[in-house]
Structure 1
Amino acid sequence: MSKLQKILTGIIAVCVVFFGFVVVRIVAAPNDTSVKLAKIPQEKQLGKEAYKDAYPLEYNSFMKNNDTSPSPTGYGGAQEGNSHLTEQPEMVENFKGYKFAIQYDDDRGHTYAGVDFKNTKRLPGQKGNCITCKSSYMYDVYYKQSGWDYASKPIEEAMGPIEDDQWFGCSTCHDPETMELRVYQQGFIDSMARRGIDVNNASHNDKRAYVCAQCHNEYYFMKEDGRVNHPFDNGLDAESEYQFYQSGQAGGFTQDWIHADSKAPMLKAQHPDFETWATSVHADAGVTCVDCHMPYMRENGQKYTSHWMTNPLKTTEESCLKCHDESAETLKARVQTIGDNTFKLQRIAGQTVAQAHKTIKAAMDAGATDEQLAESRQLVREAQWYWDWVAAENGMGFHNPDKIMRTLGLSIDKAHQCIEKTNAVVKGSL
């Protein structure tokens, strides 16, 4: 063998070794997207610990929801005791006479769903319907046994049997027998059906939105039996939902409380994340909650869905850069700008609403009658609804900037109308 042949043989041998290694990495140990179905004993299906060994990547990422680090933008986050009432003092006035004026903290990660619920100062006097989105115990035990009966029971009785490990966990979103995504919150199912949508026969991609949407939405409790319902019939925006309540479509439910100062019949918005997202540019592109908040990750060649439901800016590469070609810094700056503008306008709206309540109270003190103030009370009710619809939503504008800004504009306009109308009443009656 000549010298040249020996060199070529050596090069070929090196190439065989190198490319053989590559083939082994790609073929023998691929980025496996399959998840081997594990049989979870029925008596343990409601807990989380039973899934730990069967689905370690998903379980370990879920436990990252214990993280209490601040939000990258400064809005939201999971710090214990981070109070909205301190950050936005106008809320104390706007919720006066209601339990949200006692305690209203930032939401923490899903792993805290049980402990924070049990420890809230707003809990006393509530009913069993409040656990509807806190644990699959509601569905797998209560609802399967007796429908909505649990909804009207005292909350202490309803949550009594739920063990610490059985609050929000794997079975809340997955069928424990098949691990398929499941939408079982019957109020959401019924409300979407009235819109002509069968959520349980939806595409897999739509289900990746609905499994979150069944709890991240605006809701109310039916007067007759306490069951959960949603004001989706007229549309998925603040104006349509307000009209739902105004028109009597909510049946016997007309208000959450009477405001302590203005005596206006008030509505409390919940967290309309689904409605905000539903008409957004991301929704139009088929991008769901899961794509941004629970992106695909890779570990040791295994592809899996992260169950750390967190701010996408904490997982920018996986959550954002798979679709966007801008830099991470550019994307963060854009999100920060949206958040900053939303928060500023939200504060203005909230403060203007608070002034409207105080103006009505001053008119009452000056002798204005209920009849004279009826229109003012309807105006402040509507103004606060629009403000609260945004303040209660978890995206600080990002889920749908156009819709959010329009809603805050409506709030400010209605609040100013209320103040002007009330002042006119006082000037005309004194």
Structure 2
Amino acid sequence: MNSKPTSRKQSNASQQTPNSSEDAASTRSTHPYRPFFLGLLMLVVAVATFGVTWLLVTIFEHRQAARTPFVRLVEVDETTTNPVPWGINWPFQFDTYRRTVDTTHTQYGGSEAMPESKLDAYPWLRRLYAGYAFSLDYREARGHAYMLYDQEVTQRVTERTQSGSCLHCHASVIPTYRRLGLEAAGLPADAETLGADFNWPAVMAGFEIAAEMDYATAHAEMLRTPDGISSVDPPLFPGGDRAVTTPTSEEHMDIDPEIEDPHLGRAHPVSCVDCHDPQTMKIRITRPGFMLGIAALARSDDPLPHLPSIKRWREGDRRQDYDPNRLASHQEMRSFVCAQCHVEYYCATKDSLFFPWDNGLKVEQIEQMFDEYTFPDGTPFYDYLHAETGAPIYKAQHPEFELWSQGIHAAAGVSCSDCHMPYERQGAMKVSSHWVRSPMLNINKSCQVCHQVPEDELRDRVEAIQARTTSLMQRAADAMVDMLDAILETQAAGASSEEMAPILDLQRKAMWRLDFISSENSRGFHAGQEAARVLGESIDYSRQAQAEAIRWRAPQPPAIDPPPDAVEGVTPAEKAPPSPY
């Protein structure tokens, strides 16, 4: 049988057929995954592209937001003591500032709906302040929202004549100082002029004028000063109304009788304009008392290592007084704005308000200035005569800045605002909370930024310091009461004023130190060791005065034989064996 020979090409093809089929099958088995991986790759690239784009856009937006920290929707100027217009431009700061109206409480202080009377909580305060208005009414402090109202209604103001200088720290009073200064110089003092610039010379002049007024008259002058908003609008916080106080002096009330309502604005508690420049929002010093006080402190010999700008000023030519608005760092200013009011100062009717910092910030340095100071009428300085003993006494106000300056936080460069107005993140901006309150109510943001310690442990540490201070303060109060009883008995026994003078001097020293720590609002935490030192000195001076008073009444002690010679060891010296040396 004949058969056609198979071509070589056909033969090769037929031989390769099985392998080709396997390759095709293999290819078909892998091809379905390729679209999946391709799609997944495209999705990853798209997500990454979106993420990078979002990140770049966010960074750009945050940079833009940081360049424009606020939008000026309404104009504010140097007369805008009402915080409401400021709140339109700076809503976060305004919202937190408004929360100072809330009631809060910690172990040793707080802000109550009806503040507790310290006189009831600590009865010894009535004897400490006997003869002074604080023996009538003295309550726990509330938030900044109430600082003016609580002063307007306290019995210290309603039942005693107080100086107009009291408004230096309890009200947004600077535009009124400026107006009084301009009017005294015969210069225009309309709203436009008052709002144009700060004008330190006019403010200083008005400050001196207001110091000569009584509280009610100075308060009425604030109502005659524009506040940046219509007086018919409801006030943000209680107080500042025209009906709260009525002037008792006609000397400064030269109101045109044809003007039906002389009130151009309302009185407000310390507000935005008291710490911020309305054009730049830069923090600044506005209080004349602090400007004069810090300049005197800079000229003193107190080392002040926690205030480096003063050290630099001292190393310069000193041709001009130290000016914190020009020379202080931003971090220093975050304490200085608080130190405008949270300090010790004289605030009464015999002289203008002043900060007693000529010698330094320690309790004995302030005491030394008071000892050397005389009033304009030539009489020695004192705040009040003690109603029980007649001793001239120095009254401490609220020396938080002075005590903080002796503590570890000041030495470490921690400012008041770092703890009481901690930074918070708002979008791209880092801003200070204006809800000024105890750090114990905000430990996470106030303390744990530096201290990597659990909240409970930090709170326990603080309360331990405060508990020790409270215990020492009670011991000092007990010593004071014993001292007063002993002095009264000695005076009743017929001691002359000359004989009592050194004892009364010890009384003043003891009561000044006790009052310094009890009036300071940290209950010793701002400088625990310094608080303990000051209270220890108070106890010592009280016991010295008590001992001197008792010694005056005691009968002449009997003669005492001189002590025998000391015996050297167990064996008398003359019977001791000879020394081998």
> What range describes the TM-score normalised by the shorter chain of this pair?
over 0.9
How far apart, CA to CA, are the structure 2 residues paired with 1:83 and 1:30? 51
Equivalent position of 2:194 in the other structure = none
What per-residue deviation string (whole Å, max 9, x for no partner) do you get for residues 73-107 of structure 1? x1110112311111111101111111111111011
How far apart, CA to CA, are the structure 1 residues paired with 2:521 and 2:71? 33
Moved more, 80-89 or 15-24: 15-24
Alignment of 1:349-368 (within 5 A): 349-368=476-495
Equivalent position of 2:173 in the other structure = 137
Equivalent position of 1:237 in the other structure = 362
Residue 282 (1) aligns with residue 409 (2) = yes
What per-residue deviation string (whole Å, max 9, x for no partner) do you get for residues 155-199 of structure 1? 111001435352211112122333221212222212221233432
Residue 157 (1) aligns with residue 241 (2) = no
Choose the corresponding residue for 1:170, options 272, 293, 296. 272
Choose the corresponding residue for 2:288, options 165, 186, 197. 186
Residue pair 1:37, 1:179 contacting (<8 A) in 2 also = no
Equivalent position of 1:257 in the other structure = 384
Distance 1:178 1:18, change over 3 A: closer
How far apart, CA to CA, are the structure 1 residues paired with 2:445 and 2:296? 36
User: Which SS does the other structure have where 2:297 is aligned?
Assistant: coil
Distance 1:31 1:250, change over 3 A: farther
Moved more, 388-397 or 273-282: 273-282
Residue pair 1:136, 1:167 contacting (<8 A) in 2 also = yes
Residue pair 2:483, 2:545 contacting (<8 A) in 1 also = yes
What per-residue deviation string (whole Å, max 9, x for no partner) do you get for residues 246-296 of structure 1? 233777551111111122111100111111111322112211111111111
User: C-alpha displacement at 1:331, in angstroms?
Assistant: 1.1
How far apart, CA to CA, are the structure 2 residues paired with 1:331 and 1:250? 46
User: C-alpha displacement at 1:26, in angstroms?
Assistant: 4.6
How far apart, CA to CA, are the structure 2 residues paired with 1:253 and 1:184? 30
User: Which SS does the other structure have where 2:425 is aligned?
Assistant: strand
Residue pair 1:222, 1:253 contacting (<8 A) in 2 also = no
How far apart, CA to CA, are the structure 1 residues paired with 2:504 and 2:323? 38
Residue pair 2:134, 2:156 contacting (<8 A) in 1 also = yes
User: C-alpha displacement at 1:136, in angstroms?
Assistant: 3.1
User: Which SS does the other structure have where 1:402 is aligned?
Assistant: helix
How far apart, CA to CA, are the structure 2 residues paired with 1:104 and 1:130? 15
Residue pair 2:108, 2:523 contacting (<8 A) in 1 also = yes
Distance 1:250 1:154, change over 3 A: closer
User: Which SS does the other structure have where 1:160 is aligned?
Assistant: helix
Letter in 2 for 1:203: S
Equivalent position of 2:475 in the other structure = 348
Equivalent position of 1:8 in the other structure = 41
What per-residue deviation string (whole Å, max 9, x for no partner) do you get for residues 364-423 of structure 1? 122222222111111010001011110111111111111111111110111111111110
User: Which SS does the other structure have where 1:77 is aligned?
Assistant: strand
**Unaligned ranges ≥5, structure 1:** none
How far apart, CA to CA, are the structure 2 residues paired with 1:162 and 1:70? 32
Residue pair 1:111, 1:169 contacting (<8 A) in 2 also = no
How far apart, CA to CA, are the structure 1 residues paired with 2:513 and 2:332? 27
Choose the corresponding residue for 2:329, options 167, 183, 203. 203
Larger radius of gyration: 2
Letter in 2 for 1:8: L
Distance 1:61 1:246, change over 3 A: same
How far apart, CA to CA, are the structure 2 residues paired with 1:327 and 1:282? 19
User: C-alpha displacement at 1:19, in angstroms?
Assistant: 4.9
Equivalent position of 2:99 in the other structure = 64
Equivalent position of 2:547 in the other structure = 420
Residue 113 (1) aligns with residue 147 (2) = yes
How far apart, CA to CA, are the structure 1 residues paired with 2:452 and 2:179? 47
Q: Name the TM-score, length of structure 2 as normaliser.
A: 0.69
Letter in 1 for 2:134: F
How far apart, CA to CA, are the structure 1 residues paired with 2:51 and 2:502? 80
User: C-alpha displacement at 1:348, in angstroms?
Assistant: 1.3
Distance 1:150 1:403, change over 3 A: same
How far apart, CA to CA, are the structure 1 residues paired with 2:111 and 2:339? 21
Distance 1:359 1:265, change over 3 A: same
User: Which SS does the other structure have where 2:88 is aligned?
Assistant: coil
Residue 227 (1) aligns with residue 287 (2) = no
Aligned residue pairs total: 427
User: Which SS does the other structure have where 1:52 is aligned?
Assistant: helix
Equivalent position of 1:91 in the other structure = 125
Distance 1:429 1:120, change over 3 A: farther
Residue pair 1:222, 1:250 contacting (<8 A) in 2 also = no
User: Which SS does the other structure have where 1:317 is aligned?
Assistant: helix
Equivalent position of 2:161 in the other structure = 125
Residue 316 (1) aligns with residue 443 (2) = yes
Distance 1:334 1:99, change over 3 A: same
Residue pair 1:30, 1:302 contacting (<8 A) in 2 also = no
Equivalent position of 2:394 in the other structure = 267
Residue 103 (1) aligns with residue 99 (2) = no
How far apart, CA to CA, are the structure 1 residues paired with 2:430 and 2:329? 22
Letter in 2 for 1:241: I
Choose the corresponding residue for 2:371, options 240, 243, 246. 246
Distance 1:327 1:20, change over 3 A: farther
Letter in 2 for 1:212: C
Residue 217 (1) aligns with residue 327 (2) = no
How far apart, CA to CA, are the structure 1 residues paired with 2:353 and 2:382? 15
Letter in 2 for 1:376: I
Moved more, 253-262 or 58-67: 253-262
Moved more, 33-42 or 356-365: 33-42
Residue pair 2:144, 2:269 contacting (<8 A) in 1 also = no
User: Which SS does the other structure have where 2:155 is aligned?
Assistant: coil
How far apart, CA to CA, are the structure 2 residues paired with 1:181 and 1:343? 35
Q: Name the TM-score, length of structure 1 as normaliser.
A: 0.92
User: C-alpha displacement at 1:307, in angstroms?
Assistant: 0.7
**Unaligned ranges ≥5, structure 2:** 1-33, 182-201, 224-239, 241-265, 299-321, 558-581
Residue pair 1:231, 1:250 contacting (<8 A) in 2 also = no
Residue pair 2:165, 2:348 contacting (<8 A) in 1 also = no
How far apart, CA to CA, are the structure 2 residues paired with 1:397 and 1:250? 32
Letter in 2 for 1:293: H
The higher relative CO (CA closer than 8 Å, separation ≥ 6) is in: 1
How far apart, CA to CA, are the structure 2 residues paired with 1:354 and 1:23? 70
